[in-house]
């Protein structure tokens, strides 16, 4: 059987304009949802030795792609993750809820720990503590994989809610993760060059972690509010950076 005949049923949407609109919308949404993952990967890999940073980013993002494709292949199981397993505090908790709460708690713990290390850098002057705080490549990859799982499940469930076409979901995920791959190193370099951005990014992760926990407990916070707040904060910090650069140039003359 020719390949085109075999794949034909999966790509029947190409003749449907509304399907193309759904694909474009889902690609944009998946890219936006990937920002959380990308910020976490950038901050985490910047703590590694220089020669390990790029391979760690590529490996982490590649793992995110593989994980999302595997989850898409088991989409019937993923959909069932939204079925309540038990009830507590007046809310029916599903496996998705429990995964979101666990991921949110991990993100809050990680962001808080990094903020503490950033605010109190004196701790790094102690060689024994510095050695303890040093991140290994395996440790970084393990943490990236954990968050990849949380963000991937959220991403796939969002995709399922937008379209029934499995091919559209696959294309959207592949395009979004490809954009993440291209943006990872420039974003990580930008964060490393601007120390104040690190604190802002950690604040974003803290907010995202709290949002995941709230979502897991049934209190859905529209993502638009979260990204609007992040965008406004980034704009203010951009203006601060511009003001600092201009002051520095004036001082140099």
Span 47-90, pLDDT tens digits: 888 888 888 888 888 888 888 888 777 776 776 777 888 887 77
**17 vs 242: CA distance, rounded Å:** 43
Number of domains the chain contains: 1
- pLDDT at residue 145 tops 70: yes
What's the pLDDT at 36?
A: 77
Residue 231 lies inside a defined structural domain of this protein: yes
Residue 6 lies inside a defined structural domain of this protein: no
Contacts of 197 (CB under 8 A, 6+ apart): 190, 191, 237
φ, ψ (nearest 5 deg) of residue 217: -90, 10
pLDDT > 70: percent of the chain: 82
Residue 14 lies inside a defined structural domain of this protein: no
pLDDT band at 217 (very low <50, low <70, confident <90, very high): confident
- pLDDT at residue 1 tops 50: no
Q: Are 68 and 151 in contact (CB under 8 A)?
A: no
For residue 126, what is the DSSP state? S
Q: Could you tell me the residue range of the domain that residue 119 belongs to?
A: 19-252
Residue 97 lies inside a defined structural domain of this protein: yes
Residue 12 lies inside a defined structural domain of this protein: no
Residue 95 lies inside a defined structural domain of this protein: yes
Greatest mean pLDDT among 126-130, 162-166, 183-187, 195-199 lies in 183-187
**Tokens encoding 243:** 């003001």
What's the pLDDT at 253?
A: 55
Residue 248 lies inside a defined structural domain of this protein: yes
Residue 5 lies inside a defined structural domain of this protein: no
Mean pLDDT, the chain, whole residue set: 77
């Amino acid at each position: 059987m020719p390949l085109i005949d075999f794949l034909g049923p999966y790509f029947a949407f190409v003749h449907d304009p509304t399907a193309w609109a759904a694909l474009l919308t889902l690609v944009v949404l998946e890219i936006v949802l990937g920002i959380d993952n990308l910020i976490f990967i950038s901050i985490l890999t910047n703590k590694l030795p220089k020669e390990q940073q790029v391979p760690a980013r590529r490996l982490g993002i590649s793992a995110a792609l593989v994980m999302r494709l595997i989850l898409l292949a088991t989409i019937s199981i993923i959909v069932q993750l939204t079925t309540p397993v038990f009830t507590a505090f007046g809310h029916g908790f599903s496996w998705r809820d429990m995964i979101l709460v666990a991921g949110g708690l991990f993100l809050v713990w990680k962001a808080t720990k990094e903020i503490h290390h950033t605010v109190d850098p004196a701790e790094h002057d102690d060689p024994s503590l510095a050695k303890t705080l040093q991140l290994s490549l395996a440790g970084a990859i393990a943490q990236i994989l954990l968050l990849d799982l949380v963000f991937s499940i959220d991403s796939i469930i969002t995709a399922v809610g937008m379209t029934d076409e499995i091919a559209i979901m696959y294309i959207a995920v592949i395009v979004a993760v490809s954009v993440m791959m291209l943006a990872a190193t420039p974003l990580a370099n930008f964060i490393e060059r601007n120390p104040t951005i690190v604190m802002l990014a950690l604040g974003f992760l803290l907010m995202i972690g709290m949002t995941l926990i709230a979502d897991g407990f049934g209190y859905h916070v529209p993502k638009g509010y979260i990204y609007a707040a992040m965008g406004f904060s980034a704009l203010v910090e951009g203006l601060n950076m511009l003001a600092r650069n201009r002051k520095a140039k004036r001082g140099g003359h």
